[in-house]
Amino acid sequence: MARRMIRVEDRRTRLSPEARRAQLIDLGTEMLATRTIDEVSVEEIAEQAGVSRGLIFHYFGSKHGFLMAVVEYQSDRLIEATEPDPTLEPLAQLAQSLSSYLDYVTDNRDGFVSLLRGTASADVQMRELFERTRTALTDRVLERIPLIGIPVTPRVQLAVRGWIAFVEETVITWLSEPEPPLSRDELLGMLNWALPALAMTPEDSALVAGLLQGATVDG
C-alpha cells in the first residue's frame, strides 16, 4: 500500500535509486499478478514508471535480471504473508498460514501459475529461487512439527518437502479450473489435513485425527 502511494505520487518525478528500484519491482509485481512471466513487458514498465528502458537495464542489468528481482521480491512477500502466528496453537497456525498462502497465490494467480508451470520453470536461476523458497517454507513447518507430537525424522523431512509439492499441485489445479468443484474452505480443509496426514505414520494417525477433530482446520 505505502509502496503504491509512493509510486503514484512520484511517477515521472525524481526518485532515489532505492525508491526507483522499489517502484519498478512493484510495477513488475502488479503486472505479474495478471500476466504470465513471458508477457511482462519492460517497455510498458518503463512507460508506467515514466523512465527509459535503459534505466531499467541500468538498475537490473537485463530483462532477466529485472524478472529475477520481481520474483525474488514476490518470494519474500509470500514467505512474509504466510508467517505463522506464534500465539495460536500449532494446527491453527497451519490453518491460518495456509489460508494466507491461498489468498496470496489467488491474488497473484497468473504469475504464480506461469512461474511454476511455464518456461520460467526451466530457468536455472528461477528454479534455484523456487527451491530456496520451498526450503524456507519446509524449514518453517519442520520447526513446528514436533508441536503436534510428531518427531522430525528423515522420513518426516522428506514428507514435508513432498507436502509443499502437494500443496502447489492441488492449488494450481484448483486455480486453473474455471469452476472449481471444491470451495475455498474445502480446499483449505484438505491442505490442512494433508500435512499431519503425510507426516504421521499409520500408528500416529488416530492420535492426529483426534487432534484435528478439535482444531479449526477449515481455514
- Indicate which single residue of 42, 81, 164, 175 sits in contact with a copy of itself (rule: CB under 8 A): 164
Q: Does 159 bind a copy of itself (CB under 8 A)?
A: yes
CA–CA gap between residue 160 and residue 35 (Å, rounded): 30
Q: Is 41 helix (H, G, I), strand (E, B) or coil?
A: coil
Q: Which stretch binds a copy of itself (CB under 8 A): 16-24, 46-54, 74-82, 190-198?
A: 190-198
The x, y and z cell numbers of residue 86, run together, are 506464534
CA–CA gap between residue 27 and residue 107 (Å, rounded): 15
Q: Does 163 bind a copy of itself (CB under 8 A)?
A: yes
Least distance from a copy of itself to the Cβ atom of residue 212, Å: 4
CA–CA gap between residue 104 and residue 39 (Å, rounded): 20
Q: Does 92 bind a copy of itself (CB under 8 A)?
A: no
- Indicate which single residue of 106, 121, 135, 176 sits in contact with a copy of itself (rule: CB under 8 A): 121
Q: Which of residues 124-153 bind a copy of itself (CB under 8 A)?
A: 127
CA–CA gap between residue 207 and residue 214 (Å, rounded): 11
Complex with a copy of itself: residue 32 or 115, whichever CB lies closer: 115
How many residues in the shown chain lie near a copy of itself by CB under 8 A? 46
Largest CA distance in the chain: 64
Q: Does 187 bind a copy of itself (CB under 8 A)?
A: yes
CA–CA gap between residue 59 and residue 24 (Å, rounded): 9
The x, y and z cell numbers of residue 95, run together, are 490453518
- Give the CB-side neighbour count of residue 46, counting CA atoms within 13 A: 15
Which residues are CB-neighbours of 191 under 8 A, at least 6 positions away?
Answer: 98, 102, 167, 170, 171
Q: Does 106 bind a copy of itself (CB under 8 A)?
A: no
- Indicate which single residue of 108, 174, 188, 219 sits in contact with a copy of itself (rule: CB under 8 A): 174
Complex with a copy of itself: residue 41 or 157, whichever CB lies closer: 157
Q: Is 187 helix (H, G, I), strand (E, B) or coil?
A: helix
Q: Which stretch binds a copy of itself (CB under 8 A): 2-10, 21-29, 61-69, 188-196?
A: 188-196
Binding site for a copy of itself (CB under 8 A): 117-123, 127, 154-155, 157-159, 161-170, 173-174, 181-182, 186-187, 189-190, 193-194, 197-198, 200-203, 205-206, 208-209, 212-213, 217
